[in-house]
Structures are given as structure tokens and as C-alpha cells.
Chain A
Amino acid sequence: MSVRTLPLLFLNLGGEMLYILDQRLRVQNIPGDKARKDEWTEVDRKRVLNDIISTMFNRKFMEELFKPQELYSKKALRTVYERLAHASIMKLNQASMDKLYDLMTMAFKYQVLLCPRPKDVLLVTFNHLDTIKGFIQDSPTILQQVDETFRQLTEIYGGLSAGEFQLIRQTLLIFFQDLHIRVSMFLKDKVQNNNGRFVLPVSGPVPWGTEVPGLIRMFNNKGEEVKRIEFKHGGNYVPAPKEGSFELYGDRVLKLGTNMYSVNRPVETHMSGSSKNLASRTQENIAPNPLAKEELNFLARLMGGMEIKKPSGPEPGFRLNLFTTDEEEEQAALTRPEELSYEVINIQATQDQQRSEELARIMGEFEIMEQPRLSTSKGDDLLAMMDEL
């Protein structure tokens, strides 16, 4: 629908990813002097966040992101985040990556749904950026990158009309349609029901620019008010206090998009039992994907812009577990419902030789920890590497 949606989607999901990783790393934090070689320290945590944030806001990458384009599938986008999450010394197993992506998507879906005005999704984005800046306070170069992205957002979205924001909102909601993963933190806070649907409150401040419902005004031909009636509208609304700021610094007023995770709140997801809706989604997953080639192009472009710094020296990859124990992580991998699996993009051998070579080059920058594989052709290499993701 709207071709301006991807930057907002990507930055907000990325923001949620950083919140979650930050929380998990803090939970698994061991004071530096007491840590064993394989345990996370505060220094490690900062380094992981720095690496991911600097990759995310890399200029070349942002350039690709901001080009007008349609949204690709959730699977394609997940591949980009997986790459991003591995932009540092941190490693994630499939199950943890799945859980991370589930949490990210449900959190942003919640934020989009509850945005009072369509334009407020920009404030949500700014909330994410504000917090991201807090993570990298000590790195002026990266701070500058983030500010530059801020400037770009303002340039592109600052002048859009309410109608264009409505289209963006509809595009985002279509992307998130039928996702009903239950998140224990949302359930506990009563923002999500047991059936996976979010609670839409009928009280609180109305959006900026909307009047509190309940009044009917009637006018004559000259535009003078001649009658006023009140009616019972059913909600419990109050006027909006003030408008959030769209400046580089300012009070956003809106809380959506701020960091709701804290060290003391372990975040679990429950796989929602299969429902009728998912039947139609499984259908889409199984059928051969005619967009696979386009999605590969998209991935190649986007990830080609990521400048991943290869860790120097023989450093081991630190594994981060998004579950409480390793056993839990294994169990989650085994019991993930079929229809909710984010299978690797299923590609037929791509006809586009140049594209596959380019992707192979990008993939080559991945640190592959296993023994070198015997391959007969570049195409096989590419497929094998994709399978590894």
C-alpha cells in the first residue's frame, strides 16, 4: 500500500529488539571482576549494543531503507534482524531468535494499534530513537548517525498529511494481521487478553485534534449555533493534555515506544493455539513463493548496506539465551507450532547469476563456525549458507 512504511517498521522493530537484548544481557550480567570467560559482563553488553546500533544506523544501510518500496514478508524482514543481531560477538540460537522476533513484532503491533492518531507512529519512532541514544551516550560517532536518521525521518515524514499517515497505519496493520502471540508481560499488565487480542481501552485522553465524544451542535444557514445537545457515548474520555513534540529533543507525551522491559520482568511468549486464521496463513507459506526472487533482491540490497565489523582475533561467539534455561530453549525449538515457524526463505536456484553472486559475497562476511563445506557450485554454496541462517 504505502511505499513509505519500511523505515518506520524497521526502526521501531529494531528499537524493540534492542530493548529486549539489553534486558536479557542485564539479567545475565555478571560483575566484570567475577565473570568467567564465558559469562556476560557490563562491558560486553555495552559492546553488543554499540555494534548493533552502529550497524543499524549505518549510512549506506539507511539509504537503502529509506528508498520508497513496498513491504516485504515477515520472513524476509526477520532475515535482516537475524543478521543485525549477529553483528557483534553475540550469537542466538534459532529458538531464541524466533522468540526475539515474536516479541518485537507483538510489541510494535501493540504500539501501532494503540496510537491515538496515525501520525503518532512517528512519535513512537522518536521514543525508540530517544532511548537508543541513551544506550550509546558514550559514542559520539554513533550518536551522530542516529541524529542524522532523525533528521531524515523529519524530512520525509514531517510534511505528510493525515491521510498519508492513515495509509501508512493501514499498511502496518496489514503486515501484522492475524498475529496473536500471547506475551506474558502483556497478559499480566492486562493489555492483552487470553485470546491474544489487545485490549482497546475506552477511557483516557482523546487524540490531539479530537473532541471528547458526546456533543451535538446544530447551526443555521449563517453558521450560527442554534442548538446544543449532549448524548451518552459510552466511553470515559477526557481531553488531550498537549501534543507530543516532533523536534529532535522534546516531550513526546506518548508512552508507546518507550522501554517497558526491566531486569525484574522476564518476558515469555506463549504460542497461541492454532486457530482458523492460521490455516489461511499456512497456505501462503507452503505454496511456492513467487516473490522469492524479489525478496532476495531486497535482502541483498539491504544487507549489502550493512557494514559488519568482523571481530578481530579468535574470539568465541557469546551465546545469548532468550529463555531462562538452555533446556527451555531446546524445548521451545521442538514445540514451536508448524504454522508459526519462520522458515528460511524457500528459494529455487535463482536465475539471476549476478544477484546470487552478490548475495554469496555478503553471506561470505558471515562468520561460519563449522568446517568448510564441500560444494560443487556457487549456487549450492549460497543455498547451503541460507539454510544456515
Chain B
Amino acid sequence: MVAVDLEGPYEPRVRRADLGATGVTSDLGRGLQGSEPRMFRWERSIPLRGSAAALCNNLSVLQLPARNLTYFGVVHGPSAQLLSAAPEGVPLAQRQLHAKEGAGVSPPLITQVHWCVLPFRVLLVLTSHRGIQMYESNGYTMVYWHALDSGDASPVQAVFARGIAASGHFICVGTWSGRVLVFDIPAKGPNIVLSEELAGHQTPITDIATEPAQGQDCVADMVTADDSGLLCVWRSGPEFTLLTRIPGFGVPCPSVQLWQGIIAAGYGNGQVHLYEAATGNLHVQINAHARAICALDLAPEVGKLLSAGEDTFVHIWKLSRSPESGYIEVEHCHGECVSDTQLCGARFCDSSGSSFAVTGYDLAEIRRFSSV
């Protein structure tokens, strides 16, 4: 799992070479006017071979601090691009993956690409309109292929897989029908088995979030979201158990996160809701964005939440619990406007939340920001 494993050669193309490491704010990344002093600065962008597609959750980041490397994954359309970068965003190598062909008319489109960190290995999962592909983390070797069964679909329904998360030694993947497929992953090798299909949703899955089980019984450690805005809260195990359902309200929930029993859900109407996973109760409602939210991410070490919207804004929030009541609270930390860019993906680049990266529709680069 070294950078050289990814296919080269790479032609570095740095925009605005005069910026160097210090970064300069320009019309391409301005902080909020007249508000607190700049907390983040725009760093050197990483060029992409193909622009990012207008999907949700269209950026995956794998941090490899031991090797001083970060991997990025972005979906372009029929292909996805993986690339590795050194600190300061210096691009090292890149590789393109394609959706496996199958029966059908047009080239299959990829819906999502995501690294799943399991106890003994890291797998890269790619979902498309044909099925689910799993690779070793550098994207070099495909270890598993699962073709979607479109048997139940009516002619007007699009068939695809979407929503990827690791839960213990399982990888969960959502589908167009609402079913969530649970794959049992061995510590090594390709003997991956579909162990369960979870029913709970009736509309296409959008996103899945997990967190390590807190050690007690009855603790929710997985949330699944769908196009109707419904959230299902699960407990993982040899068999997954549905604990609670949180109904939608007429808009999709494209992105969801889970941290210390707090569910953060981003919706198509620009709102972020925070729910108590144990009860399903809504505790915080944020009018966060003026357009649909396309991505949420968490920095688990510090409880920071990142929200990105199609309104060109990125916001960072601090989650906490009130010392008296134990209720969920939130504080707005920072906002960033990525001018004229309909964002489609956003991730923290380190677990302390001091840097983040975004992708945008039609944008052939990954924009990076880090705190000053």
C-alpha cells in the first residue's frame, strides 16, 4: 500500500503557482465577510483528470499518516479517479477505475467511491448502475464483484447501488430499492460473502453512516438514509437489528453522519438536523444552506461536523452535549464560500478537523483548505 502502486506517470499542473504554501484568498475561496478573522486558508488545489460529477458524497479521503500520504477518490461519471498526495497537497500518482460492464445500453455510471476501514484491512468500494466492486485499498486488485439484481424494478426505475460504509468487519451498501446489502469481509483474501439484506427503506438509499460500537448493548452504531428523507437506526451484529425509524418530511436526505450517539442528517432543503440515536428525537434543527446539502463529514476526535451544499458554501460546526441536560448542542465555527461552484463532495483531511477538501460539479480539481 505504497504510493508507487498507483499508476503513474503524473503530470503535475498547479494553478496559480505563485501561491506556494501560504495560500492567498481570492474570489475562489472567501471567508464570510465582516465576521470572525479568517480561520481557514485556501491551499494548493489538486488537479483531477476528469471533473467531478454532480452526485452527492462525491469525495472520499483515506488518511495514511504512517506513510505521510492521503488518498482521494472522486467520481467523474463512467470512471472514478483515485489519487495519492503528499502533505501540502503535492500529487503523487493517480489511477482511474471504471464500472464493470454488464447488460445494458449506455456505459454504466458510477454513483460513489469510498474507502472502508475494517479492523484488519482497508477496501475500496465502488458502486454503479451495474453493481458493487471492491478493491484492495490502492485500487489495483479487484477482490469482489456483486451484480445488482434488477428483477423487481419497473421500467421507469433506475437500478443502482449507492451508500457505502464499514461496520466492524462488515461492509454495508445501499441499493435503489431501499435494501441494504451487508457483506461479511474476511481479514484477507477475496472470500467476501453477502450475509444479509436489510429491509427498512422503500426508496433508494442515499448514504450510510457508522461508528464503532460503544461497548454496551442496545447501542445504535449504524444509520441509513434514503431519497424520501427516512432514517433507519441499526445495531450491528451477526444480524443487524432495526432500532428506530426517523421519518422524512418530503425531501431527500443525501448525507448522514453518526458520532457518539448523535445523528447528523443533511437534507435537500438545506437543513441539518441532529437527532438522538437512542430515542430518534430531534434536538437541533439548523437552517444551514440555501440549496440542497450534498455532503456531511465528521472529525471524530473533536466532534466537528462539516456540511457542504449546492449553494457553494461549506460550514463547520462543533457538536457537543449540554453538561446539565445532556441534550445535543451545536455551535457554528466557520463558513467558506467556494465561488460559483456547486459543491458535490466534502471531507475532513485529518481527524482533528484542521483541514478539509471539497469537490464541485464541473470542477477538475480538489480544493483544499487548512486552518491558519
On A, residues with C-beta under 8 Å from B are 1-4, 68, 70-72, 113, 116, 118, 161-164, 166-167, 169-170, 173-174, 177-178, 180, 193, 197-200, 202, 206-207, 209-221, 223, 226-227, 229, 231-235, 237, 275-277, 280, 291, 294
A164 → chain B, closest Cβ, in Å? 7
Q: Is B203 an interface residue (CB 8 A)?
A: yes
CA distance A277 to B331 in the complex (A): 39
User: B interface, by DSSP: helix, strand, loop or mixed?
Assistant: loop
B269, A197: Cβ atoms closer than 8 Å: no
B252, A218: Cβ atoms closer than 8 Å: no
A237 → chain B, closest Cβ, in Å? 5
A162, B250: Cβ atoms closer than 8 Å: yes
- The chain A residue with its CB closest to the CB of B363 is A197
Selected contact of A1 from candidates B129, B292, B332, CB within 8 Å: B129
Q: Which residues in chain B, 12-57, are within 8 Å of chain A measured between CB atoms?
A: 13, 32-35, 47, 49-51, 53-55
Which A residues are in CB contact (< 8 Å) with B327? 218, 220-221, 226
Which A residues are in CB contact (< 8 Å) with B281? 219, 221, 223
Some 11 contacts from A to B, beta carbons below 8 A apart, are A113-B342, A166-B252, A166-B254, A202-B311, A202-B313, A209-B269, A221-B279, A221-B281, A276-B49, A276-B364, A277-B50
Selected contact of B268 from candidates A162, A199, A216, CB within 8 Å: A162
A203 → chain B, closest Cβ, in Å? 9
Query: Which 5 pairs between the two chains have the least Cβ-Cβ distance?
Result: A163-B227, A231-B332, A173-B54, A211-B287, A234-B32
- Of B118-126, B155-163, B181-189, the stretch lying at the interface with chain A is B155-163
Q: Is B282 an interface residue (CB 8 A)?
A: yes
CA distance A71 to B129 in the complex (A): 14
A68, B283: Cβ atoms closer than 8 Å: no
Selected contact of A218 from candidates B250, B269, B283, B342, CB within 8 Å: B283
Cβ proximity bits B160-174 to A, threshold 8 Å, 1 near / 0 not: 100000000000000
A233, B284: Cβ atoms closer than 8 Å: no
Which A residues are in CB contact (< 8 Å) with B51? 177-178, 277
Contact A166/B105 with A3-B155, A198-B340 known, Cβ cut-off 8 Å: no
On B, residues with C-beta under 8 Å from A are 13, 32-35, 47, 49-51, 53-55, 76-77, 105-107, 109, 129, 155-158, 160, 203-204, 206, 226-228, 250-252, 254, 268-271, 279, 281-292, 311-313, 315, 325, 327-332, 335, 337, 339-342, 361-362, 364
Which B residues are in CB contact (< 8 Å) with A235? 290, 311, 313, 337
Which B residues are in CB contact (< 8 Å) with A218? 283-284, 327-330
- The chain A residue with its CB closest to the CB of B312 is A200
A197, B362: Cβ atoms closer than 8 Å: yes
- Of B203, B286, B331, B332, which is in contact with the most chain A CB atoms at under 10 Å from its CB? B286
B49, A280: Cβ atoms closer than 8 Å: yes
CA distance A202 to B343 in the complex (A): 13
A214, B251: Cβ atoms closer than 8 Å: no
CA distance A209 to B36 in the complex (A): 30
Which A residues are in CB contact (< 8 Å) with B55? 170
CA distance A163 to B327 in the complex (A): 31
Contact A215/B33 with A70-B105, A161-B228, A200-B340 known, Cβ cut-off 8 Å: no
CA distance A3 to B47 in the complex (A): 32
Which A residues are in CB contact (< 8 Å) with B283? 218-220
- The chain A residue with its CB closest to the CB of B107 is A291
Which A residues are in CB contact (< 8 Å) with B364? 275-277
Selected contact of A4 from candidates B47, B156, B312, B337, CB within 8 Å: B156
Which A residues are in CB contact (< 8 Å) with B227? 161-164, 166-167
Which B residues are in CB contact (< 8 Å) with A220? 283, 325, 327
Selected contact of B203 from candidates A3, A161, A231, CB within 8 Å: A161
B105, A233: Cβ atoms closer than 8 Å: no
Which B residues are in CB contact (< 8 Å) with A68? 155-156
CA distance A13 to B361 in the complex (A): 21
CA distance A235 to B310 in the complex (A): 13
CA distance A212 to B287 in the complex (A): 7
B267 → chain A, closest Cβ, in Å? 9
CA distance A139 to B342 in the complex (A): 42
Selected contact of B158 from candidates A167, A217, A227, A294, CB within 8 Å: A167
CA distance A72 to B291 in the complex (A): 29
- Of A206, A226, A233, A294, which is in contact with the most chain B CB atoms at under 10 Å from its CB? A233
Besides A200-B339, A216-B286, A233-B290, 12 other A-B contacts (C-beta < 8 A): A1-B158, A174-B109, A200-B340, A207-B269, A212-B287, A213-B289, A216-B287, A218-B327, A229-B332, A276-B364, A291-B106, A294-B106
- The chain A residue with its CB closest to the CB of B282 is A219
- The chain B residue with its CB closest to the CB of A160 is B156
CA distance A232 to B39 in the complex (A): 14
B268, A166: Cβ atoms closer than 8 Å: yes
